[in-house]
Amino acid sequence: MPTALVTDPRTRLGTAFARRFGATGHDLVLAGHGERELGFLAAELADRHDITVEVIVADLADAAQRALVEDRLLDDDRAPVDLLVNNASADACAGFLTTPVDRVQADFDLRATSVLRLTHAALAGMMRRRRGAVINVFGSGRAWWGLGRCTVQDAFIRTLSQNLADALCGTPVHVMALCVGTTTPWLTNGGADEVVRRALRDVAQRRTVSGSRLQLMARWLTSR
């Protein structure tokens, strides 16, 4: 049975990914903070779909805690992870110059460093096994840092994902960036399920970036 790992599964989008994977028979690894909430979600999915659900409680901005997730991705002695969804998101905060640098660094580590390191760890095993995919979510953060419309983290995630997708062309392994925007309909009314459906369709078609044309055009325009 294939295994998927979803970070920050307490968000609407993360929960939608986890529920979709559970419904299609994937075992799951749920990684993020909030032990109580993760436990409830894990129990719900395990009971509903008769699957195995692991929980890794970790602050992905913290190197030592993030290493727990990296180790799981690198561990082939347990069920190998064939699908990784990097979905970590940050809270809103003030601009770059008015925010303490430690807060800026923590946000970057959560949304960019974690994506880099978890993607690297996942791809190592996927390339050995000759199968797998990584979906890196961007555009969900609300921290603009006063550096223009496109966050540094979002630009990093998009560029990293596209470059890796190009490098992996011709292999059975793929990386895709998923643009969800900052005020998209998936935030309410069950729209997260539709975002997940489209994302999984697009990753199967080996697209490098997924998202509605409106979202992608808005992200492109506001990054200029």
Tens digits of residue pLDDT in 195-215: 999 999 999 999 999 985 445
155 band by pLDDT with thresholds 50, 70 and 90: confident
Task: Provide CB contacts within 8 A for 98, sequence distance 6+.
Answer: 146
Tokens 């190197």 -> residue: 63
Stretch 36-41: mean pLDDT? 97
How would you class 50 by CB atoms within 10 Å of its CB: exposed for 0-12, middle for 13-18, buried for 19 or more? exposed
> What distance in Å separates the CA atoms of residue 21 and residue 15, rounded to the nearest whole number?
10
Give the pLDDT score at 1.
Answer: 78
Q: What is the mean pLDDT of the chain?
A: 86
Amino acid identity, position 190: G
> 209: part of which helix (H) or strand (E)?
strand 209-210
Q: What is the pLDDT averaged over residues 16-32?
A: 98
Distance CA 78, CA 60 (A): 21
Query: pLDDT tens digits for 105-123?
Result: 888 899 899 999 999 999 9
Q: For 154-180, what is the mean pLDDT?
A: 95
User: Cα–Cα distance between 82 and 84 in angstroms, integer?
Assistant: 7
- In terms of DSSP bridges, do strands 173-179 and 209-210 run parallel, antiparallel, or are they unpaired? parallel
Q: What is the pLDDT of residue 76?
A: 86
Q: What is the predicted pLDDT for the residue at 189?
A: 54
Average pLDDT over residues 47-70: 97
pLDDT at site 101: 86
Name the H helices within 130-190: 152-167
- Rounded to whole angstroms, the Cα distance separating 100 from 73 reads 32
DSSP letters, 56-96, are EE--TTSHHHHHHHHHHHH--SSPPEEEEEE---------T
Interval 66-107: pLDDT, tens: 999 999 999 989 999 999 999 987 655 556 777 788 888 888
Q: Domains, the chain, ranges and CATH?
A: 3-222 (3.40.50.720)
CA distances (Å), 100 to each of 63, 80, 107, 108, 149, in order?
19, 39, 11, 13, 20
